[in-house]
């Protein structure tokens, strides 16, 4: 077997050891599924998110990560408010499609969607296929390039039902149509 000189061996070893990113590793992270609602200048909107999580207590703080090009990113930035409706496993794919696969720039997502009420902050929250809601006031935001991370302080929250919360994994396993 040919022997490598020390420099060649170091270069080869360094190449092999270079850290790499495996996109499949992201599939191991766990999430819930939510509708984030916002309102600005009489425009109501909502989008599906798998990123909403508690990041602080006393006062309770919740973080959401919103894609930069989304209408809701603009509405939340301008109004400084958002609501989180926690979806349950009973949520039909049609609701995911409605809020998560079209933009409020093109359609009024609440024109024909009746299962809503307004919280004290004036924003909509969903009343069907949900088990809790949170109203939040934005306290911090971090521009991550692809997404804006908003940190909100909870101003109101309610339990709305007893259904099991829908996880991102359950959505992929049982709700999303198989092609
Ligand atoms: C399962 C699922 C999870 C999603 N998670 C997020 C998320 O965490 N953050 C986000 O900004 N968009 C997420 N989206 C995409 C938005 O819901 C989608 O871009 C929506 O159409 C944006 O609407 P808007 O332009 O009216 O704000 C998700 C979509 C789906 C179907």
Q: Is 13 a domain residue?
A: no
Gap between the Cα atoms of 1 and 175, Å rounded = 56
Which structure tokens are listed for 39?
């309102």
Q: Is 74 a domain residue?
A: yes
Q: Is 6 a domain residue?
A: no
Gap between the Cα atoms of 43 and 123, Å rounded = 10
Q: Is 68 in the pocket of ligand 1 (CB under 6 A)?
A: no
Interval between CA 169 and ligand 1 midpoint (Å): 16
**Residue-level pLDDT at 5:** 65
Q: Which atom of ligand 1 is nearest to the CA of 67?
A: 11
Interval between CA 4 and ligand 1 midpoint (Å): 52
**Residue-level pLDDT at 17:** 75
Q: How many domains does the chain have?
A: 1
Burial class (CB in 10 A: 0-12, 13-18, 19+), 179: exposed
**Residue-level pLDDT at 16:** 66
Q: Is 3 a domain residue?
A: no
Q: Is 50 in the pocket of ligand 1 (CB under 6 A)?
A: yes
**Residue-level pLDDT at 179:** 78
Q: Which atom of ligand 1 is nearest to the CA of 73?
A: 27
**Residue-level pLDDT at 15:** 61
Q: Which domain holds residue 39?
A: 26-175
Judge contact between 84 and 134, C-beta under 8 A: yes
Nearest CA to ligand 1 atom 8: 49
Nearest CA to ligand 1 atom 10: 66
Q: Which atom of ligand 1 is nearest to the CA of 101?
A: 21
**Residue-level pLDDT at 27:** 85
**Within the chain, what is the greatest distance between any pair of CA atoms?**
76
Interval between CA 48 and ligand 1 midpoint (Å): 5
> In a structure prediction context, what are the per-residue pLDDT tens digits for the chain, which is 179 residues long?
556 666 666 666 656 678 899 999 988 999 999 999 999 999 999 999 999 999 999 999 999 999 999 999 999 999 999 999 999 999 999 999 999 999 999 999 999 999 999 999 999 999 999 999 999 999 999 999 999 999 999 999 999 999 999 999 999 999 999 87
Nearest CA to ligand 1 atom 20: 100
Pick from 50, 65, 146 the residue to mutate for probing ligand 1's pocket: most ligand atoms within 8 Å of its CB: 50
Q: Is 38 in the pocket of ligand 1 (CB under 6 A)?
A: no
Residues whose CB is less than 8 angstroms from the CB of residue 131 and which lie 6 or more positions away in sequence, other chains included? 86, 88, 159, 160, 161, 162, 163, 164, 165
- The CATH number that applies at residue 56 is 2.30.110.10
Burial class (CB in 10 A: 0-12, 13-18, 19+), 60: middle
Q: Is 7 a domain residue?
A: no
**Residue-level pLDDT at 177:** 96
């Amino acid at each position: 077997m040919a022997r490598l000189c020390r420099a060649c061996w170091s270069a080869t070893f360094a190449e092999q050891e270079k850290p790499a990113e495996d996109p499949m590793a992201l599939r191991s992270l766990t999430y819930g599924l939510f509708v984030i609602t916002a309102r600005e200048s009489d425009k109501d909107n909502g989008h599906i998110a798998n990123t909403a999580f508690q990041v602080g207590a006393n006062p309770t703080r919740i973080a959401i990560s919103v894609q930069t090009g989304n209408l809701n990113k603009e509405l939340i930035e301008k109004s400084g408010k958002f609501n989180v409706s926690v979806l349950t496993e009973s949520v039909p794919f049609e609701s995911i499609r409605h809020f998560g696969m079209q933009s409020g720039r093109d359609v009024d997502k609440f024109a024909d969607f009746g299962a809503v009420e307004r919280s004290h902050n004036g924003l909509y929250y969903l009343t069907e296929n949900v088990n809790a809601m949170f109203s939040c006031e934005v306290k911090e935001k971090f521009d991550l390039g692809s997404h804006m991370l908003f940190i909100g302080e909870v101003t109101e929250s309610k339990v709305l039902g007893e259904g099991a919360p829908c996880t991102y994994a359950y959505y992929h396993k049982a709700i999303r149509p198989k092609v």
